[in-house]
Amino acid sequence: MRLGPGKPENSGPEIEPTAVHVGILTGFTEAGRAIAFFEGQGYQTRTIGAEKLGRRLYVGPVTSQGALDQAIALAAEAGFPNAYPSDLFRFWKF
């Protein structure tokens, strides 16, 4: 996978809308950089938490297995090796 401006692609079987938990960020500056990166890749982003306690970063929602795999791989390539699917997608309006 090549890092750079892009767009998530739906491929493979359709899945329920799923967010990807990318990781926990420890400051607003770090969160801002990560948000800008993932939004530049075409993903919606959401964070929850507090600066001193850590902010969880979610991307998505994705609606196909291929898009889910792509989001997790992108997170790993961007330095977040423990990204995982999450059913926490209520923050997005469909």
Write down the pLDDT at residue 1: 46
Three-state SS string across the chain, please?
Answer: CCCCCCCCCCCCCEEEEEEEEEEEECCHHHHHHHHHHHHHCCCCEEEEEECCCEEEEEEEEEEEHHHHHHHHHHHHHCCCCCCEEECCCCCCCC
- Total-model pTM: 0.84
pLDDT per residue over 9-60, tens digit each? 778 889 988 999 999 998 778 889 999 999 999 999 998 888 778 899 999 8
Write down the pLDDT at residue 80: 95
The mean pLDDT value for 59-77 works out to 94
